Structure formats: C-alpha cells, structure tokens
Chain A
C-alpha cells in the first residue's frame, strides 16, 4: 500500500462522501466556521482524498472516536503520521501518544501534579501577577493583546509554577507552536515550525532535567513520583517536557480567545460584570465557541464500524473538535456566544482518558486574568482588526489590538 503523509492510503469506505477539501488550507485555518458546518452537513464521516484520511465533525461520532481508546488509539500518533510506519520528529510523548496500560501510570502522575488542589495553591500568586499586568495595560491605553497580555501572563506565571530555574518565553511559545504544527501534513506551516527546532528544542530538553528544576512546583511533584518508584528518571523528564509542550501555547490561546469574545460581544461582558459568578461557565463557553485545539487525529487499530460506516485498520481519522463544538444537534443556537449556557460536554479539552490534564492550570490562569479585568475594566474595545494565526492543530489569534476603558 502507498504511504501518504506518513500513513497508509485507505479506500473510500462505502457510503462515505468524498470531499476534496484541504483542512490545512490557510484560509480555513484562519476562519473555519464554514468548513465546520459543511463537514457536519456531509455526514458522520467524509473522506478527504488529498491526505487519504477520514474526518468527522458531528458531536456524536467525534466524541466516540476521540474517547474510545481501545478502537482508536493515540499510540500511532495524534497527527497525520502513523508511528507504526514512521518515527515521529521527537521521541514520542509518554502521555499523549500512548495507550493504556502505560498511559494510566504517567497520567496519574501528571493528574497529581496538576490537580485542582495543586493549581488552587497558585491562585494568590496568579492574582497578584494578573492585577499588576492589567494595571499596566490600563495605564498604557491601546495595546496588542496577543503579545502584551495573552503571551505575557502565561510566560510569567507558568515557568514559576513548573519550577523552572531559567525562563525563556520565546522558546516556550515557539516550542508549543512547533509541537502543534507538527501534527499536520508536510505543509509550509509544518516546515516553518520545524525550522525553529535548532533554537528551541535544546533549551526545552535542557530544562526537563532534575538539576534545572526547583524543589517546588509541578516539576518537583513529577520527580517525587520518580523517587517513589512510580516512574523512572527518564519518564519524569519526558513528563516535564509534556508540560513545556502543551502548557503555554494553549493557555496563550485560551486567554487571547477569551479577550476576543468579550471584546466582540460587549453585552456578554456587561452581563459578566454584573454577575461574576458566571466567570467559570463563561470560560467554558469561550472554549466551546473558539475551540483552541481545532483538530487532533486518532488511528483505527483494527477494522471497526462507527454509525454504520466501516473503518479499516490503519485509517487516520481527523477529529474536528471545533466542528463538534458547534453541532446544532448538540447545542441550541451554537453560533451564539452565550455565557449563560452550560456547555458541559464540549470537546475543547478533549474527553475520556486523554482529556486535558492541564485544564485546571488553564482555568486558574484565565480566572486570574478575568477576575482582574472584571474588577478594573469597564469596557474592552478593538482598536484595529483581530487576525487569526494559522496552525495545523491550534486556532489562535495572531493580532488582537485592544484598549481597556474605565467608566
């Protein structure tokens, strides 16, 4: 069989529409909503000839494929490459890119390091930093929110939370972009990301070792698990690497997208100011509405069937989380940003055993920023056009010119 983008070519399964689309086209990546809607309208699955993959975007099937780890494995890669055929660009992740029973061991360690309790301990520190930053931005007037807030906040608090002795904001942001772009095809985005390797990878790898971590923080909890014999030293280093891979770019995106939503829908911002108890559900709605991780793959580990569609062993399935989060059969009026909604069951943080292990940290960071904004800011306005940045797996802002106003 022929290999395409690192996986086997597959035949079009019976009854599955062929859709000649490139999900990684820059225009789609920047403005995906029409693509999401068309994907859902075509059926439970489509076949995309350009990459010889299946894609799903309805909530039901996306959830099923994304969470059924026995039939749809992560160990063969969550991008287009099949790790059974090709070696990934970096040693594989020992949490994201493995299946049970191995997964349970590493998952437990990271779940402990990033538990609600562990992240709640950081609340005060986060609030102090957020208040300081928002005060500065209020003083400043107009600012570029991607760099000056969405990147600035996580790159200030995250290294400390992990316990890194050295900080390199640029490397942290760039490494995240690399990891996520690497999940796509061999396109310009992926090649440009890979070109950043020499300047980012060595620094990242270096920070993962015990000697470069303080004795307090997520890193310390991970190495304590190594001391207790739950995992070995090398596994501990790899788990720290997982935090450095997935812990910055994602929260940068979450904060940026939250600001974008509140600036775009001022009546919702007003509502939130009037009832701050809506803050946590509001962020869930930001996640549902913007889907920071727009799509990840699974690989069928045997012949199987979903919603009457026969899926062959080795098929790569693009699970379009952004499309599922706007499925009209799952949410009423899905294209409306409504902070009063209860969007439990959105797939923005994944679902099932691989569901985001860093979500408490993401929520804690966003909560600090939003609390500060609700206390200090009366209006959030655009001072220029917001621009989205194409990435093979992340839907994030590139430019967000804003001004914070007080009444």
Chain B
C-alpha cells in the first residue's frame, strides 16, 4: 500500500492507502472520496477525476499522454500546469507520500 494525500478545496486532508498497480482514481473512489467523480470509470473520457498535483511531486509522475493532455481541456475547474487525470496516475512505490489537491468541481 502506498500512502497518498488528497487535499479538499477547504483544506481538509484525506489520506488514502492506494494499491500498487491500480490508479489513484480507483484508490480515491474505493476510499469514498467524493471529490473524485470518475464517471467514465477510467476510460479517459469524462475528465471528472481531475486533480492538481503538488508542484514538488510532479517529477515523480511519468509524462502525460497526448490523449490525457487533450482530455484535460475538458475539466470543469480551470486547467493548470499541474493538472492531471487521477485515472491515469498509476500507483507505484515511488509515489509514497504524493500529495494532490482536489478541484472545486468535477462537472
């Protein structure tokens, strides 16, 4: 299990135990985090699993695919440099301690 911190827009921190090999989206949904909607279940079609990755952690993540890059144009909350789709973040040991911020809204 890999510990990931999700910060709600109000500042509340939620720490989830994410399974290696799964996605951050799956871990958040399993933990009942409502700030991740994930309507498409991870098919990279809905952009409702949007997160802002803590700037210092960005380099831990592999680069986004062109498909993810395009889909990020459809997020409900403003897209930023550190925007990612949590369904595309694959959990591995290198992500221990990763911190992401949840957007104001997902749709």
Q: Which residues of A contact B (CB under 8 A)?
A: 104, 107-108, 111-112, 114-118, 120, 280, 284, 342, 344-347, 349-357, 359-360, 363
Contact = CB atoms under 8 A, between A and B. Distances in A.
Q: Pick the most buried of B39, B47, B66, B71: most chain A CB atoms within 10 A of its CB.
A: B39
A208 B41 CA distance: 30
B39 A352 contact: no
Nearest to B66: A108
Contact of A356 (B29, B43, B66, B71): B43
A24 B37 CA distance: 35
Interface string B80-107: 0000000000000000000000000001
Nearest to B47: A116
A65 B38 CA distance: 21
B70 A363 contact: no
A115 B38 contact: no
Interface string B18-54: 0000000000010010100111111111111000000
Nearest to A115: B74
A353 B39 CA distance: 15
29 contacts: A108-B66, A111-B67, A111-B71, A112-B70, A115-B70, A115-B71, A116-B48, A116-B71, A117-B74, A118-B74, A120-B74, A280-B37, A280-B39, A280-B107, A342-B34, A344-B29, A344-B38, A344-B41, A345-B29, A347-B41, A349-B41, A354-B43, A355-B41, A355-B45, A356-B45, A359-B39, A359-B45, A359-B46, A363-B39
B70 A359 contact: no
Interface of B: 29, 32, 34, 37-48, 66-67, 70-71, 73-74, 107
A353 B43 contact: yes
Given A347-B41, A355-B43, A359-B46, 14 more contacts: A104-B67, A108-B66, A115-B47, A115-B70, A116-B45, A116-B48, A344-B29, A345-B41, A346-B41, A349-B40, A351-B43, A355-B41, A355-B44, A357-B45
Contacts of A350: 43
B40 A355 contact: yes
B41 A111 contact: no
B68 to A, nearest CB: 10
Given A111-B71, A344-B29, A344-B38, A349 B43 contact: yes
B41 A351 contact: yes
